[in-house]
């Protein structure tokens, strides 16, 4: 393939630096004692510790899933550090108290926790290794009664909300990684939007793994009460290291009657080097529940990082007339592997789901779309539309599609479209013949391919996503 394609897909990872902060870490390995230690470090109420232990005991009985189209060396769960926190973290009154070294780390990532974000109208919660180091715009949000804080703070200040909703979408026993997360998660973001409130700004969490040999297990819980709406963004990076690091997060979204939640991710964890050494193992459980009538949950993801991605943001369509959406761009290059997709579980009447998945494979990358659409007996007039497109760059990569469809109500309407294409020399030559450089041509072609997904990203992230793919936004808005 032409050199321009290679240089485009082989862009250097810009976030591979390590920040030098003192950390409070516990020893390697996992046991009930470790869980008790984490819980006590977090000063948690009894219900939390019980829930963690229940999850841990369940996890011990579970087996690592291997049905994904993924190949990797076994993970030694006793060789991972399950808790690491910047030492200076104590309850902070304001961002001024945050360790300047940490703030500098976020500046380097282009995430300012200070003024710029305020101007951009985005509230940010920054998670460094396992704990939240700062949440911006809290006061502004509290005027609307919106709670946006670290998970740890929510446990302290709003235990009733946490107890009521935690694990209601992704139970502690859901799957191997979700159970592990429930046992050991040390922080994450929490958001509650009260009845009738439209959140006036984008909320954002930025995850950063810094310490070596540390697993990151964060948990995000977002609740939109009746008639509420919120749009949430998530970004992630990690330093360049030779060893694989485990990231096993859980995200739970809940939309009550007439509520809507939009969740967008730009995942750019370190992917390993060009030989496939190092990189993040990203085993994530993301699920939303449209619990109320006319509710809506929408996932948009741009997955460019991680050595391995195992992730299926899903929606349980329980409320009548509820809507679930999944828009995804997954890019693999070098030796990256992604097995990603969604599950749409239709329970309520007149429920609708829409799936648009764009997989791009380059180098030796291997990309699988795995999607389940399930129509349960009570789901009269359910509708699903699935579009699943793959693009190949070069001759050594792979693209696979695994759709699972299960229909138990014959009034359902399902459509499934799939395509595979290859960036050809002819497409590039055509662009070059019109005066465009090969690099411009490739980014234009890739951008066109991803157009329907980028259109669903909030502006701020659309720009980041485009840059990640070496693309200019103009391509998709013409």
Within 10 angstroms of residue 364's Cβ, the number of other Cβ atoms is 18
- Containing 286, the helix (H) or strand (E) segment is strand 279-290
CB of 415 to another protein, least distance (A): 18
> Is the Cβ of residue 158 or residue 432 nearer to another protein in the bound state?
432
> Is the Cβ of residue 220 or residue 456 nearer to another protein in the bound state?
456
**CA-based nearest residue to 181, from 342, 308, 38:** 38
> Is the Cβ of residue 257 or residue 389 nearer to another protein in the bound state?
389
CB of 92 to another protein, least distance (A): 45
User: Interior CA angle at 456 toward 419 and 348, to 5°?
Assistant: 85
> Is the Cβ of residue 94 or residue 455 nearer to another protein in the bound state?
455
Residues near another protein (CB under 8 A) = 2, 421, 425-427, 429-438, 440, 444-445, 447-452, 474-478
> Is the Cβ of residue 1 or residue 122 nearer to another protein in the bound state?
1
CB of 428 to another protein, least distance (A): 9
CB of 426 to another protein, least distance (A): 5
> Is the Cβ of residue 97 or residue 474 nearer to another protein in the bound state?
474
> Is the Cβ of residue 91 or residue 435 nearer to another protein in the bound state?
435
Separation in Å, CA 428 to CA 64, 282, 360, 393 = 43, 33, 17, 12
> Is the Cβ of residue 411 or residue 455 nearer to another protein in the bound state?
455
> Is the Cβ of residue 268 or residue 447 nearer to another protein in the bound state?
447
CB 164 within 8 A of CB 54: no
DSSP one-letter string for 448-473: HHTHHHHTTS-HHHHHHHHHHTT--T
CB 206 within 8 A of CB 75: no
Q: Would you call 378 helix, strand, or coil by DSSP? A: coil
Within 10 angstroms of residue 415's Cβ, the number of other Cβ atoms is 9
CB of 477 to another protein, least distance (A): 8
In sign, the C-alpha dihedral spanning 178, 179, 181, 187 is positive
CB of 465 to another protein, least distance (A): 15
How far is residue 150 CA from its own chain's centroid?
17
CB 219 within 8 A of CB 253: no
CB of 268 to another protein, least distance (A): 22
| CB neighbour list of residue 204: distance below 8 Å, 6 or more residues apart | 117, 122, 123, 124, 125, 232, 233, 234, 235
CB of 459 to another protein, least distance (A): 17
Q: Would you call 124 helix, strand, or coil by DSSP? A: strand
CB of 391 to another protein, least distance (A): 10
| CB neighbour list of residue 258: distance below 8 Å, 6 or more residues apart | 226, 227, 292, 293, 294, 295
């Amino acid at each position: 393939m032409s050199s321009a394609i290679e240089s485009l897909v082989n862009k250097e990872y810009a976030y591979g630096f390590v920040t030098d902060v003192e950390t409070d870490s516990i020893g390697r390995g996992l046991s009930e004692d470790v869980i008790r230690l984490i819980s006590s470090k977090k000063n948690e109420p009894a219900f939390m510790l019980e829930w963690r232990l229940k999850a841990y005991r369940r996890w011990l009985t579970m087996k690592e899933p291997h049905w994904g189209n993924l190949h990797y060396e076994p993970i030694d769960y006793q060789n991972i550090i399950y808790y690491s926190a910047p030492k200076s973290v104590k309850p902070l009154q304001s961002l001024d108290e945050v360790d300047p070294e940490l703030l500098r780390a976020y500046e380097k990532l282009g995430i300012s926790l200070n003024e710029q974000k305020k101007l951009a109208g985005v509230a940010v919660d920054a998670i460094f290794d396992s704990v939240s180091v700062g949440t911006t715009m809290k006061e502004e949000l509290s005027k609307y009664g919106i709670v946006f804080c670290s998970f740890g703070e929510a446990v302290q200040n709003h235990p009733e909300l946490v107890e009521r909703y935690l694990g209601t979408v992704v139970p502690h026993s859901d799957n191997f990684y979700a159970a592990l997360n429930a046992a050991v998660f040390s922080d994450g973001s929490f958001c509650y939007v009260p009845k009738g409130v439209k959140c006036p700004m984008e909320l954002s969490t930025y995850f950063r793994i810094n310490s070596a040999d540390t697993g990151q297990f964060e948990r995000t819980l977002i609740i939109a009460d009746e008639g509420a709406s919120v749009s949430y963004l998530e970004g992630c990076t990690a330093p360049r290291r030779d060893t694989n690091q485990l990231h096993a997060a859980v995200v739970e979204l809940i939309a009550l009657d007439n509520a809507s939640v939009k969740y967008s991710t730009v995942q750019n964890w370190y992917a390993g080097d060009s030989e496939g050494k190092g990189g993040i193992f990203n085993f994530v459980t993301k699920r939303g529940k449209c619990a109320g009538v006319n509710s809506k949950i929408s996932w948009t993801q741009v997955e460019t990082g991680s050595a391995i991605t195992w992730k299926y943001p899903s929606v349980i369509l329980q409320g009548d007339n509820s809507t679930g959406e999944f828009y995804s761009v997954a890019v693999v290059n070098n030796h990256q592997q992604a097995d990603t997709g969604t599950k749409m579980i239709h329970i309520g009447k007149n429920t609708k789901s829409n799936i648009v998945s764009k997989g791009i494979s380059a180098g030796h990358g291997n990309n699988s779309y795995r999607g389940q659409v399930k129509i349960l007996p009570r789901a009269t007039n359910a509708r699903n539309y699935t579009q699943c497109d793959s693009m190949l760059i070069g001759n050594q990569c792979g693209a696979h599609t695994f759709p699972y469809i299960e229909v138990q109500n014959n009034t359902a309407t399902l459509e499934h479209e799939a395509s595979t294409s290859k960036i050809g020399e002819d497409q590039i030559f055509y662009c070059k013949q019109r005066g465009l450089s090969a690099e411009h041509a490739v980014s234009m072609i890739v951008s066109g391919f991803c157009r329907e997904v980028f259109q669903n990203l909030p502006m701020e992230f659309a720009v980041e996503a485009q840059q990640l793919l070496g693309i200019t936004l103009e391509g998709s808005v013409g």
